Amino acid sequence: MTAPRPAPDPLRRARLMSAARRSAAPGNRSEALGGRSKAPGNRSEALAEARRALAVVRVLERHPLGVRAGQLGREAGFSEAELGPLLTMLCEEEYAYRPGAGVYGRGPALDRLAAPGGGGLAGQLQRTLALARDSAGAAVYLSRYVEGEVRITQMADGPGTPPVREWVDFRAAAHASAVGKCLLTQLDHDGRLDHVARHRPARLTPRTITDSRVLFSTLDAVAPGAPVFDLREYSPRVVCSAVPITIGDAAGSLALSLPATHAHRLRAATEALRRKAVPVLLALLLTGAIPPDADAADAADAADAAAADTPVPQRTGVTPETLRHLRNVFRTPLTRATASTDGPHLVSDSASAAAYLFDALPEDTDEPCLSLPRTFAPLTPGSLTTPNGLVVLST
């Protein structure tokens, strides 16, 4: 965003600089804070929806060759009406894909999250932020409250979705920004007191709340999981909203910003943002950043114990829908004369009557990577290419 910077107030700037200096002093930070949140944030509607999506993903992982929607719903414990929206979200986020009509398989996002090097989570979250930016029509931000400070960890903007110009350090403006207020709602009373003691609320615009008691009353009025708004409190040229993303005991938020001239779109954009909190939480659940729900873990243990007492089902053949999908995607045989690509590859081996799908190489890496393929078997020789030999296909 290119809004002009408001005229500086020397007294206000002095207060902000003093607060910043105090926040850097090691003896002034409450040991009880550290980003700890109140427990109710973990019981949000978005997190409950993310756990339901996780149950669907776990079923997909048990069916590497794909599973029909009816069976998927039965195993996950959802009706058709409940399963539909979950599958729509999972396919959009690439946790699932449709190899054929009515058939669903595990998607490439699961492989991204499991990629070596620890960059899989950040990459998947960045993809989700880009989708959120496009659906909300606004710049979006992922933030955390770390060691008593507001930190923007990732963001997605674009030519038509400009970011907020940080004319005052976000760490010193939690009382005015949607990101900061959303994080403060997740702290207990002592945590909030500690924060405003280190970062005195300063008046950034005529709408900024500077009285700590009024600020705390406003934060207490926000229902758990509800969005928090900044209506020209940080900057006269910007409106923002944020929803909580609680990570274990740490406070987090997913936020958006719009030019003030687009304030009429804020409500609809916020609803789109709230929907994107679910895939963010799902990624955190899948990587263990959010502890599993105790009841869900007990149910999973019981299911595993029951499965151990039953015969292991025989692997079924590749469905015609899956075979057609593989033929449509992988058409180019690779030879010694063909330039190698970093994209996904399908290896067809008539000797083992199987095909092996290798995902694309991770981006921005020159290091060797171990790639474990997804197996499609049994496969009739010649069903993909030639009847004999080893054939490597690319897209």
What's the DSSP call for residue 6?
P
Do 262 and 152 share a structural domain? yes
Do 261 and 324 share a structural domain? no
Given 276, 292, 311, the domain boundary residue is 276
Q: Residue 165's domain is classified under what CATH number?
A: 3.30.450.40
Do 173 and 29 share a structural domain? yes
pTM of the model: 0.66
The arrangement of strands across the sheet holding 332-333 comes to: 332-333, 390-394, 345-349, 354-358, 374-376
Do 255 and 338 share a structural domain? no
**Cβ-based neighbour number of residue 147 at 10 Å:** 11
User: If DSSP codes are grouped into helix, strand and coil, which group holds residue 104?
Assistant: strand
The CA distance from 103 to 202, in Å, is: 56
Answer yes or no: is 283 within a domain. no
Choose the weakest-confidence range: 190-194, 211-215, 290-294: 290-294
- Of 29 and 328, the one with more pLDDT: 328
Could you report the per-residue pLDDT of 358-384, keeping only the tens digit for each? 666 665 556 555 555 667 666 666 666
The CA distance from 362 to 298, in Å, is: 35
Answer yes or no: is 362 within a domain. yes
The CA distance from 52 to 55, in Å, is: 5
Q: Buried (b) or exposed (e) across 247-278, using 16+ Cβ within 10 A?
A: beebbbbbbbbbbeeeeebbeebbebbbbbbb
Where in the sequence is the domain holding 351, given as residue range(s)? 320-394
Could you report the per-residue pLDDT of 76-110, keeping only the tens digit for each? 999 999 999 999 999 999 999 998 899 999 999 99
User: If DSSP codes are grouped into helix, strand and coil, which group holds residue 95?
Assistant: coil
Given 221, 249, 276, the domain boundary residue is 276
User: If DSSP codes are grouped into helix, strand and coil, which group holds residue 150?
Assistant: strand
Could you report the per-residue pLDDT of 158-173, keeping only the tens digit for each? 999 999 999 999 999 9
The total of structural domains in the chain comes to 2
Q: Which two tokens stand for residue 38?
A: 């109140």
Q: Which two tokens stand for residue 232?
A: 């020209």
CB within 8 A of 290, min separation 6: which ones? 47, 247, 248, 281, 284
- H/E stretch holding 29 reads none
CB-based contact 155:141 (threshold 8 Å): yes
In DSSP notation, 164-178 reads: PP-SS-GGG-TTTSH
In whole numbers, what is the pLDDT of the chain averaged over residues? 79
CB within 8 A of 242, min separation 6: which ones? 143, 178, 179, 181, 182, 227, 228, 230, 253, 254, 255, 256
Q: Write the single-letter amino acid at 164.
A: V
Which of 143, 67, 144 minimizes the C-alpha distance to 98? 67
Could you report the per-residue pLDDT of 286-304, keeping only the tens digit for each? 988 887 664 454 444 444 4
Q: Which two tokens stand for residue 348?
A: 């067809």
